[in-house]
């Protein structure tokens, strides 16, 4: 992890200059723009090359071929959030790394959101310890935020994160805004399926995993693991990636994540997330529809599922299901079909 703010700023600036140039940029211009010596610039370029940026050097200066830009999610690619990012090229799980970081940095708790980001995960997970495939090309990160809130409302956090993600993707890719036939092979209507799925038609684009630190009936730490299929190829018929729908017109991952973080951090300013429920309802593909709720390991625990119509959300994000006898059942978790 690079946490030297000046290093982050220098790397961000040199990459912005090289990306905006159609020909090599001279060493004199680059060192002058950054206010560093030629030797320091050479070391900076060498480090970026080690990290995977195919920067070409010649007597005319340095050049970054756009067609070979690796599109990484490093701290210097995500300014002004760079100083609050722990980045890995490959990691077992961003959720586990985020919780480890929080445990070992208790002397300096993060008052602002902190991000643990990886280009790929070897043991990414979804709800109920299921595997989340994380090949290169997707966005995989865990947002950590340390604040004290009632346990009863923590379910608003993944709902808000999902709603803000849909808003962001619709703003970037207007083709996702229109309703479409959910049975079409490449349906482009984006929606939210309770409790944590981002859907395009009936195929899954992304998901959000909630974990937390709890003391009694109070939450002291919130972890949101977020995975989004961008340019990666998905495994199986039930997943979908943005590149499947929009081809090479999909913007770079770094641009998508930057737009998302700007909107998300603004929405997170209210610790009680009073806007979460109405925002989520705007994009729901669950409410008003027949649902079947199942609980993993439910039979062992003496829990029974239910069927009915999803009629509302509770104040903490619970699903309200009206069963066949007209009664209302409050569902806090489970698989929704």
Same domain as 220, residue 144: yes
> Within 13 A of 266's CA, how many CA atoms are on the CB side?
9
Q: Which residue has tokens 């982050």?
A: 8
Same domain as 156, residue 88: yes
Same domain as 156, residue 265: yes
The pLDDT of residue 183: 47
> Under a CB-based contact definition with an 8 Å cutoff, are residues 290 and 337 in contact?
no
The pLDDT of residue 4: 84
The pLDDT of residue 91: 95
Cβ neighbours, 10 Å, residue 237? 9
The pLDDT of residue 295: 85
Same domain as 106, residue 231: yes
Indicate the number of domains in the chain: 3
CA dist., res. 72 & res. 323, Å (int): 48
Q: Which residues contact 325 (CB under 8 A, 6 or more apart)?
A: none
Same domain as 220, residue 151: yes
Same domain as 234, residue 113: yes
Q: Which residues contact 275 (CB under 8 A, 6 or more apart)?
A: 160, 267
The pLDDT of residue 297: 67
Domain with residue 85: its CATH number is 3.30.930.10
pTM: 0.90
CA dist., res. 147 & res. 78, Å (int): 24
For residues 82-91, one letter each, b for 16 or more C-beta atoms within 10 angstroms of the residue's C-beta and e for the rest, the string is bebbbbbeeb
CA dist., res. 96 & res. 76, Å (int): 23
Q: Which residues contact 109 (CB under 8 A, 6 or more apart)?
A: 102, 146
Domain range for 315 is 290-336
Per-residue pLDDT of the chain (337 residues; tens, 9 = 90+): 455 889 999 999 999 999 999 999 999 999 999 999 999 999 999 999 999 999 999 999 999 999 999 999 999 999 999 999 999 999 999 999 999 998 887 665 567 999 999 999 998 776 666 667 788 999 999 999 999 999 999 999 999 999 999 999 999 998 897 654 444 444 568 999 999 999 999 899 999 999 999 999 999 999 999 999 999 988 778 899 999 999 999 999 999 999 999 999 999 999 999 999 999 999 999 999 999 998 876 656 567 788 999 999 999 999 999 999 999 999 988 889 8
Same domain as 47, residue 109: no
CA dist., res. 1 & res. 304, Å (int): 46
Same domain as 83, residue 103: yes
Same domain as 56, residue 16: yes
Residue 47, helix vs strand vs coil = helix
The pLDDT of residue 203: 93
Cis peptide before 69 (omega within 30 of 0): no
**What letter does residue 217 receive in the DSSP assignment?**
T
Same domain as 52, residue 37: yes
How large is the C-alpha radius of gyration of the chain? 22
């Amino acid at each position: 992890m690079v946490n030297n703010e000046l290093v982050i700023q220098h790397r961000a600036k040199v990459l912005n200059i090289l990306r905006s140039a159609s020909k090599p940029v001279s060493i004199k211009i680059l060192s002058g723009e950054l206010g560093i010596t030629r030797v320091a610039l050479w070391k900076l370029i060498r480090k970026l090359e080690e990290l995977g940026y195919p920067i070409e050097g010649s007597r005319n200066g340095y050049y970054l071929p756009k067609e070979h830009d690796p599109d990484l999610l490093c701290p210097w690619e995500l300014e002004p959030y760079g100083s609050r990012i722990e980045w890995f090229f490959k990691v077992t799980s961003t959720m586990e790394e985020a919780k480890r970081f929080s445990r070992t940095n208790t002397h300096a708790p993060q008052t602002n959101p902190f991000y643990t980001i990886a280009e790929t995960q070897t043991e990414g997970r979804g709800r109920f310890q299921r595997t989340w495939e994380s090949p290169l090309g997707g966005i995989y990160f865990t947002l950590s935020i340390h604040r004290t809130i009632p346990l009863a409302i923590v379910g608003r956090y993944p709902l808000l994160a999902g709603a803000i993600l849909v808003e962001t993707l619709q703003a970037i890719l207007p083709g996702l805004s229109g309703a479409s036939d959910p049975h079409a092979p490449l349906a482009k209507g984006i929606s939210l399926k309770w409790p944590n799925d981002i859907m395009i038609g009936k195929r899954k684009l992304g998901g959000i995993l909630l974990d937390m630190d709890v003391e009694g009936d109070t939450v002291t730490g919130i972890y949101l693991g977020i995975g989004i299929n961008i340019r990666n190829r998905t495994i199986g018929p039930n997943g979908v990636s943005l590149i499947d729908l929009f081809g090479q017109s999909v913007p770079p991952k770094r641009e998508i994540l930057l737009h998302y973080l700007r909107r998300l951090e603004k929405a997170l300013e209210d610790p009680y997330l009073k806007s979460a429920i109405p925002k989520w309802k705007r994009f729901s593909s669950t409410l008003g529809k027949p649902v079947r709720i199942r609980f993993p390991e439910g039979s062992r625990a003496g829990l029974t599922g239910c069927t009915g119509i999803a009629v509302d959300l509770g104040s903490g994000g619970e699903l309200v299901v009206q069963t066949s006898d007209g009664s209302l059942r409050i569902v806090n978790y489970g698989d929704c079909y």
